[in-house]
C-alpha cells in the first residue's frame, strides 16, 4: 500500500474519532434524564411522616420520631422501607410489628400494631382464644325417689295384710260376671273410700286370724266391691271356686247387712268342707213348713212377733238363706226383740249357728263372746 493511501485512511479515522468525542460532549450537557447512581438513589421525602431508608448492613433502620411502630427489616441494606404514617409498612423483608388492629397472628411480610407476622404470608390465620368457661349448668331437680302411692291403694293393702284377703274395686272389677249377672264398677272415689272403711270395720268384728283359717280348705277370700249388678235387686254374691272364694258386694245397698250375710255363706261352706252338717236346723221350723213356700205370718220382719220362725220372707227360700239371713240379725247394729228369750225360734237358730262356728274354727273360743254372739249370751 502507498504512503499516500495510508495517510488518507488515517485522516478519515481521526475525523470519525473527533466526531464521536464531540457528540458525547454534546449529549452530556444537553440531557437531564441521566441520574447520578449515588446521589439520586438515597433521597429523603419532604414529608417528615414517611421515611424511605436504604440500608446495606442488614440491620433494621431506625424510624422517625413520628412513627409509633417498631419495624424490623431482615433484608439487605439496599431494601427500602417506606412508612406512610398510617401504620401500613411496605417491605420485602420480614416485619415484626405488634398491632392493636386485631387479635390475629399472621405469617407474612408485614406486622402491624396488633399482628405478629413472621416470614412470608402464607394466608393462614391462627386465632388465639381465651377459653370461655362453660356456664354452670342449671342442676336438674332430683326426682323424688319416694314412690307416689294412692292413699286408697295403701289403705287397701293394710286391709289385705291384716286379714289375709284380697280386695278389688274400681276398674279392677271391670267385666266381672258372676253366674248370669253382670256388674258395674265403682267410679266415685269417695264411694271407694267409704266402702273400704266399711269393709275394714266389718272385718274387724271377727276374731284375729279368723280369715286365715279358710286357707286350710283352700278357700282364700277375694272381696269385690262393686256398684251394682245387672239385676237391680241383688245386694251380694258369694262365688265358690277351687282354691278361692269371691264375695262381691253391691255398694248401692247397706254394706254391713250384705257383707255379713255373704260371710255366713262363706263360713257355712268352710264348715261343710271340713265335714260339718247342720242336721238339726229343720227342728227349729214349723212342722208343716217347706223351704221355697213363703208364709209372711212366719216372718219377724212382717209381724214383729218375737216368737217368729224366720227373720224375713227371704229366709224361707232355702236353709242356706235362712242361716245367712239369721246371721244378719245376729250382727245387726241393734238388738231385736226376737232375742229377748232363749225360747224363741230365732234365738235357738242363732245359738246353733254360734255353736257350729265355735266347733270348726280354732280362732273362735267358747270363753269369748264374739260379735255375732252378743245378743244371745
> What residues form DSSP beta bridges with 53?
81
Distance between CA 188 and CA 185 in Å, rounded?
Answer: 9
> What residues form DSSP beta bridges with 237?
248
Q: Among 47-61, 97-111, 228-242, 307-321, which is the least confidently predicted range?
A: 47-61
- φ and ψ of 90, to 5 deg: -115, 120
| Predicted local distance difference test score (pLDDT) of residue 317 | 97
| Predicted local distance difference test score (pLDDT) of residue 35 | 40
Higher pLDDT, 111 or 319: 319
Percent of the chain with pLDDT over 70: 64
The angle at the Cα of 245, spanning 242 to 250, to the nearest 5 degrees, equals 145
| Predicted local distance difference test score (pLDDT) of residue 150 | 76
Say if CB 83 and CB 97 are below 8 A apart: no
pLDDT in tens, 314-326: 999 999 999 999 9
pLDDT in tens, 202-257: 999 999 999 999 998 999 999 999 999 999 999 999 999 888 999 999 999 999 99
Q: To the nearest whole number, what is the mean pLDDT of the chain?
A: 77
Residue 193's Cβ-count burial label (10 Å; 0-12, 13-18, 19+) is middle
18: pLDDT confidence band, cut at 50, 70 and 90? confident
Distance between CA 195 and CA 251 in Å, rounded?
Answer: 7
pLDDT at 3 over 90: no
Say if CB 72 and CB 117 are below 8 A apart: no
Query: What's this model's pTM, rounded to 2 decimal places?
Result: 0.62
Higher pLDDT, 84 or 10: 10
Higher pLDDT, 55 or 130: 130
| Predicted local distance difference test score (pLDDT) of residue 136 | 60
Say if CB 97 and CB 110 are below 8 A apart: yes
Long-range contacts of 211-217 (CB under 8 A, 24+ apart): 211/163, 211/164, 211/165, 212/163, 212/164, 213/270, 213/361, 213/362, 213/363, 214/245, 214/266, 214/270, 215/164, 216/274, 217/270, 217/273, 217/274
| Predicted local distance difference test score (pLDDT) of residue 340 | 98
Domain boundaries, the chain: 42-122, 151-273, 281-373
Say if CB 111 and CB 96 are below 8 A apart: yes
Distance between CA 321 and CA 62 in Å, rounded?
Answer: 127
138: pLDDT confidence band, cut at 50, 70 and 90? low
| Predicted local distance difference test score (pLDDT) of residue 21 | 72
| Predicted local distance difference test score (pLDDT) of residue 313 | 97
pLDDT at 116 over 90: no
| Predicted local distance difference test score (pLDDT) of residue 87 | 41
Please provide the distance, in angstroms rounded to a whole number, between the alpha carbons at the two ends of the chain. 189
Distance between CA 168 and CA 225 in Å, rounded?
Answer: 6
| Length of the chain as a residue count | 377
330: pLDDT confidence band, cut at 50, 70 and 90? very high
Long-range contacts of 111-117 (CB under 8 A, 24+ apart): 112/69, 112/87, 112/88, 113/68, 113/69, 113/87
Distance between CA 212 and CA 64 in Å, rounded?
Answer: 111
| Predicted local distance difference test score (pLDDT) of residue 209 | 97
| Predicted local distance difference test score (pLDDT) of residue 8 | 72
| Predicted local distance difference test score (pLDDT) of residue 113 | 39
| Predicted local distance difference test score (pLDDT) of residue 362 | 97
DSSP letters along 239-280, please? EEETTEEEEEEETTS-HHHHHHHHHHHHHHHHHHHTT---TT
Amino acid at each position: 500500500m502507498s504512503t499516500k493511501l495510508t495517510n488518507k485512511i488515517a485522516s478519515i479515522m481521526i475525523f470519525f474519532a473527533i466526531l464521536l468525542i464531540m457528540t458525547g460532549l454534546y449529549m452530556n450537557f444537553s440531557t437531564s434524564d441521566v441520574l447520578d447512581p449515588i446521589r439520586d438513589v438515597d433521597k429523603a421525602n419532604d414529608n417528615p411522616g414517611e421515611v424511605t431508608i436504604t440500608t446495606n448492613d442488614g440491620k433494621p433502620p431506625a424510624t422517625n420520631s413520628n412513627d409509633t411502630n417498631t419495624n424490623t427489616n431482615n433484608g439487605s441494606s439496599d431494601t427500602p422501607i417506606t412508612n406512610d404514617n398510617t401504620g401500613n409498612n411496605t417491605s420485602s423483608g420480614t416485619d415484626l410489628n405488634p398491632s392493636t388492629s386485631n387479635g390475629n397472628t399472621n405469617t407474612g411480610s408485614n406486622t402491624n400494631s396488633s399482628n405478629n407476622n413472621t416470614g412470608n404470608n402464607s394466608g393462614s390465620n391462627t386465632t388465639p382464644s381465651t377459653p370461655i368457661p362453660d356456664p354452670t349448668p342449671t342442676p336438674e331437680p332430683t326426682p323424688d325417689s319416694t314412690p307416689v302411692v294412692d292413699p286408697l291403694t295403701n289403705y287397701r293393702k293394710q286391709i289385705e295384710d291384716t286379714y289375709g284377703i284380697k280386695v278389688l274395686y274400681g276398674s279392677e272389677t271391670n267385666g266381672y260376671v258372676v253366674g248370669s249377672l253382670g256388674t258395674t264398677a265403682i267410679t266415685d272415689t269417695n264411694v271407694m273410700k267409704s266402702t273400704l272403711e266399711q269393709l275394714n270395720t266389718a272385718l274387724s268384728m271377727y276374731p284375729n286370724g279368723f280369715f286365715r283359717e279358710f286357707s286350710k280348705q283352700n278357700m282364700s277370700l277375694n272381696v269385690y266391691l262393686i256398684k251394682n249388678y245387672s239385676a237391680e235387686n241383688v245386694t251380694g254374691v258369694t262365688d265358690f271356686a277351687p282354691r278361692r272364694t269371691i264375695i262381691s258386694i253391691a255398694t248401692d245397698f247397706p254394706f254391713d247387712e250384705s257383707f255379713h250375710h255373704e260371710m255366713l255363706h262363706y263360713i257355712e261352706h268352710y264348715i261343710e268342707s271340713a265335714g260339718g252338717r247342720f242336721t238339726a236346723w229343720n227342728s227349729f221350723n214349723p212342722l208343716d213348713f217347706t223351704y221355697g213356700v213363703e208364709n209372711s205370718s212366719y216372718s219377724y220382719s212382717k209381724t214383729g212377733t218375737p216368737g217368729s220362725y224366720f227373720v224375713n220372707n227371704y229366709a224361707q227360700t232355702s236353709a242356706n238363706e235362712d242361716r245367712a239371713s239369721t246371721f244378719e240379725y245376729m250382727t245387726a247394729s241393734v238388738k231385736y226383740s226376737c232375742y229377748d228369750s232363749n225360747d224363741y225360734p230365732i234365738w235357738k237358730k242363732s245359738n246353733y249357728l254360734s255353736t257350729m262356728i265355735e266347733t270348726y274354727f280354732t280362732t273362735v273360743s267358747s270363753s269369748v263372746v264374739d260379735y255375732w254372739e252378743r245378743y244371745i249370751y
